[in-house]
Amino acid sequence: MANLGYVGLGAMGGNMADLLMAKGHRVTGYNRTAAKAGWLVKKGMSLGASPKAVVQAADVVFVMVTNSAADEAVFNGAEGLLAGVTPGKIIIDMSTVSPAVSRTLAEAVRAKGADMVDAPVSGSIITLQQGKLSVMVGGTKATFDTIKPILDDLGPKVTHVGENGLALVMKIATNLSLAVQMLAFSEGVLLAEKSGIKRETAVDVLMHSVIASPMVVYRGPFVLKMPSEAWFNVNMMQKDMLLALELGRQVDVPLPTTAVTNEFLTTARAMGLVEEDFATVFKVLANMAGVKP
């Protein structure tokens, strides 16, 4: 049993904290809106008053927040993580943020005699619940070896990809494909539908074809009925697409399908679909095709 902390108890972070407790670990958590963590407190989680309080109470602290600005906010300030970091602590930042921002934060953690890795995940709440989550880790090999038994409790695939920031690069490289695949899947469904095939039939065939990636299997049914609550909304996906486009410019890699798909996400925002799952690019394309979504 490890003495863990978890900062950022949204849908994904909260479910991870829940799983870690189910595996027998002690967890002290913090969420900006404390009431949203009430269900975890009922299950035995201790609630910290601040990120600083969490890192003071734990040996290893997970962080999962929405973007680079939120990441910097929980690390910095009088009540931030850095204010409570002492030698020997380990921070596992699972947030999908700019690799440069992550590296800067890791340097600040190391300056205090502690260590930090970036450890974004590939998967969703469903993937986590099914025990299929994949974790990528960027940081020193020694720290990776220390925390791997804990990460193994979150999913069966835990990979050390290199130095700090590189796990984030891998996550960004993964996520750009999710949106691109969803747009391509939508094109196929609509081409079939406008040619006279029922949408349900087209979805079923594609989901059992050679293109049936895990993303298509999970999100393919969303073109028939969107979930009541987004797994990963338009804003969150577009944040990752913009990180990919910026990284592409930095390392001189053209990302044409990423750029086009990003415009569909912008259109989804303009249509008032920002809170829907990013699979709503289907609705954008359907409207362009003159088909009722």
Q: What is the pLDDT of residues 263-289, one digit of tens each?
A: 999 999 999 999 999 999 999 999 999
Catalytic residue among 36, 52, 89, 171: 171
Per the CB < 8 A criterion, the answer to whether 103 and 138 are in contact is no
Give the count of alpha carbons within 13 A of 12, CB side only: 22
Summarize pLDDT for 70-96 with one digit per residue, the tens: 999 999 999 999 999 999 999 999 999
Other CB atoms within 10 Å distance of the CB of residue 217: 12
Report if pTM > 0.75. Answer: yes
Summarize pLDDT for 27-86 with one digit per residue, the tens: 999 999 999 999 999 999 999 999 999 999 999 999 999 999 999 999 999 999 999 999
Q: Is 171 a catalytic residue?
A: yes
Per the CB < 8 A criterion, the answer to whether 101 and 127 are in contact is no
Q: What helix, strand, coil percent values describe the chain, rounded to 5?
A: 55, 15, 30
Summarize pLDDT for 174-231 with one digit per residue, the tens: 999 999 999 999 999 999 999 999 999 999 999 999 999 989 999 999 999 999 989 8
Residue 126: pLDDT band (50, 70, 90) is confident
Summarize pLDDT for 132-172 with one digit per residue, the tens: 899 999 999 999 999 999 999 999 999 999 999 999 999 99
Per the CB < 8 A criterion, the answer to whether 156 and 204 are in contact is no
pLDDT at 125: 83
For the cut 90, the answer to whether the pLDDT of residue 124 exceeds it is no
Integer Cα distance of 95 and 289 in angstroms? 36
Q: Which domains does the chain have, with CATH numbers?
A: 3-163 (3.40.50.720), 169-289 (1.10.1040.10)
Integer Cα distance of 268 and 45 in angstroms? 38
